[in-house]
Amino acid sequence: MLSFKSFNTLSFPQNCTKALPLVEDQAMLFQEGTQKLLKSLENKEDPILPNFTKWYTREEDYLESVEDAKWRARIQEEELRLSINGSELQSSRRSSFLKQPILALVNDHLIEYPTPSNLNYWWGFGSLAGICLMIQILTGIFLAIHYTCHVDLAFSSVEHIMRDVEGGWLLRYMHANGASMFFIVVYVHLLRGLYYGSYARPRELVWCVGVVILLLMILTAFIGYVLPWGQMSFWGATVITSLASAIPLVGNEITYWLWGGFSVDNATLNRFFSLHYLFPFLIAGASLVHLAALHQYGSNNPLGSLSSVDKIPFYPYFYVKDLVGWVAFGIFYSIFVYFYPNLLGHPDNYIPANPMSTPAHIVPEWYFLPVYAILRSIPNKLGGVLAIGLVFVSLLALPFIHTSQIRSSSFRPIHQKLFWLLVADCVLLGWIGQKPVEDPYVFIGQFASVFFFFYFLVCMPLLGKLESSLIAFNRQNALVKKDQSVG
């Protein structure tokens, strides 16, 4: 892709001897129409041109600014300039490595993808999430080679990987800590989108697909946590799967179907292993949909403004910026893998599963704790299950209940304070989730759960209307003061 500056110095090729006369005449007419269009756009006139009407009408559905139209017109002119050079340019295009059918897709979406020039480092967590997914898939495949999916052998096979397989300890620790790294990256990615309004129109699909990916990640991590068949694995699976029994009429049948019997046993382990192998590929497919939806309208930016013209290619500019994040993430990840591999795990999971001995306190992995705290805050089992569902419904509904005319929280001081209160509330819920079910933890968890839903279901719809009223009020006051000063 040519840089934007190069469009300002475009000149139609003088040597067109290889092109047919008819093609040359049409090309000259098209160039003349393009120049008229650019001139009319600069003069803020209505660009009604016979030779350009079809293109302008088709693009008009999603052009958000006059500058965007100018940019695309120059691209059309450059593409035409390249096309009339005849078979010589066609052969060079075929010989270009990045212009081949499949690689051209990669080139358009990863290398020459037009990116807003003011993106900061928080936007790098999207690519980090993709790296984490690839690490989990690759390490999981190699671990599955040595893993034995049987209740009598699963725990021993994991210890065999750790002690006897060459490099097995590294694979296991990379996979176990990689799950935590994956959730850290995705949670930061989600909070960044929440802060800068990346869920707002026209990127509703991007946000909704991201929420679906988060749900698939939670399911994948939960069933993967069962596979080592330690004490916390077994009892965690028993507690969480038994929640399905709260569904009226068919709850018990669904629970027995999940178990493959009347309790968590070998059939359950087999099913969870199969699903744990399948879900990462579903996440990879959903990630491609997420990426395609993002590139349909382009990336948001920290200002939340239209950035149709102020764009630069992803490579090499943002590739270098992302590379800094990748290196920092690699260092952070390596510290856990090599120095504190069991810091984020639970020691009870190094005890083989024993259905006859219940742990004193059943605690899931840290990335489940906020949702687990909301579940425990409601005394009724069905109410807890509905509250978990409401968490994801609130996230999915956010783009449609958002009423603010401003995207970025950089210009929304009230939302800034509410956002950081939400972050603190999620941390508080995570702390409550690992505490015993007793006072004062129950009351604190209930209060934190109420604020979580208050933020999404009350603050987000009403705050936009309040901001609009304040903006209109300030504008009216400014007009009154101006009139008084003139008077």
Domain parsing of the chain, residue ranges: 4-97, 115-364
Q: What are phi and psi of 313, to 5 degrees?
A: -60, 145
What local confidence, expressed as pLDDT, does residue 383 receive?
A: 92
Catalytic residue list contains 253: no
pLDDT given at position 41: 54
Phi first, then psi: give them for residue 357, nearest 5 degrees.
-135, 110
* β-pair type (311-313, 114-116): antiparallel
- CATH 1.20.810.10 corresponds to the domain 115-364: yes
- Rounded CA separation 132/180 (Å): 10
68, 77, 365, 425: the catalytic one is: 365
The answer to whether 190 and 218 have CB atoms below 8 angstroms apart is no
202-224 pLDDT, tens digit each: 899 999 999 999 999 999 999 99
Q: Is 410 designated active site?
A: no
295 catalytic, yes or no?
yes
What is the separation of C-alpha 375 from the centre of its chain, rounded to a whole number of angstroms? Answer: 25
| pLDDT above 70 as % of the chain | 79
> pLDDT tier at 75 (50, 70, 90 boundaries)?
low
User: Quick one: average pLDDT of 336-342?
Assistant: 95
Looking at the chain, the whole-number percentage of residues with pLDDT higher than 90 is 59
- Structure confidence at residue 112 (pLDDT): 83
pLDDT band at 308 (very low <50, low <70, confident <90, very high): confident
Task: Report the pLDDT averaged over residues 48-68.
Answer: 44
pLDDT at residue 294 tops 60: yes
Across 56-81, average pLDDT:
54
Distance CA 266, CA 149 (A): 8
222 contacts: CB under 8 Å, gap ≥ 6: 236, 240, 364, 368
Question: What are the φ/ψ torsions at residue 20 (nearest 5 degrees)?
Answer: -65, 150
Q: Specify whether the backbone of 386 is left (phi greater than 0), alpha (psi in -120 to 50) or beta.
A: alpha
Q: In angstroms, rounded to a whole number, what is the distance separating the alpha carbons of residues 123 and 325?
A: 10
Q: In the predicted model, is pLDDT for residue 256 greater than 70?
A: yes
Above 90 in pLDDT, residue 471? no
pLDDT at 397: 95
The catalytic position among 146, 150, 321, 381 is 321
Structure tokens at 254: 């669904």
Q: Which two tokens stand for residue 384?
A: 């807890």
Burial letters for 237-250: b for 16+ Cβ neighbours within 10 Å, e otherwise? bbebbbbbbbeeee
Tokens representing 375 are 């579940």
Range of weakest confidence among 93-102, 162-171, 176-185, 456-465: 93-102
Q: Which residue has the tokens 């995705």?
A: 186
- In whole angstroms, give the CA distance from residue 437 to residue 243: 17
For the residues 381-393, what does the mean pLDDT come to?
Answer: 94
pTM for the complete prediction? 0.79
**C-alpha span between 395 and 391 (Å, rounded):** 7
d(CA 299, CA 114): 9
Instruction: Point out the catalytic residue in the list 77, 180, 189, 322.
Output: 322
91-149 residue pLDDT tens: 454 446 666 777 777 777 788 888 898 899 999 999 999 999 999 999 999 999 999 99
Mean pLDDT computed over 283-305: 92
Least confident of 106-120, 349-363, 376-390: 106-120
CA–CA separation, 34 and 32 (whole Å): 5
66 vs 77, more confident: 77
- Sorted by sequence, the CB contacts under 8 Å of residue 378 that are 6+ apart come out as 384, 387, 446, 449
| Distance (Å, whole) CA 305 – CA 404 | 14
- DSSP conformation class of 342: T
Picking from 28, 7, 12, the residue whose alpha carbon sits closest to that of residue 74 is 7
Whose CA is closest to 129, among 80, 89, 188, 74?
188
Active site residue 322: yes
| Cα(385)–Cα(470) distance, integer angstroms | 39
Choose the catalytic residue: 36, 295, 381, 435: 295
* Banded pLDDT at 23 (limits 50, 70, 90): very low
Mean pLDDT, rounded, for 398-418:
92
Average pLDDT over residues 236-262: 92
Q: Is the pLDDT of residue 455 over 70?
A: yes
Q: What is the largest CA-CA distance in the chain?
A: 91
For residue 430, which of 448, 443, 450 has the smallest C-alpha distance?
448
Separation of alpha carbons 178 and 280, rounded Å? 13
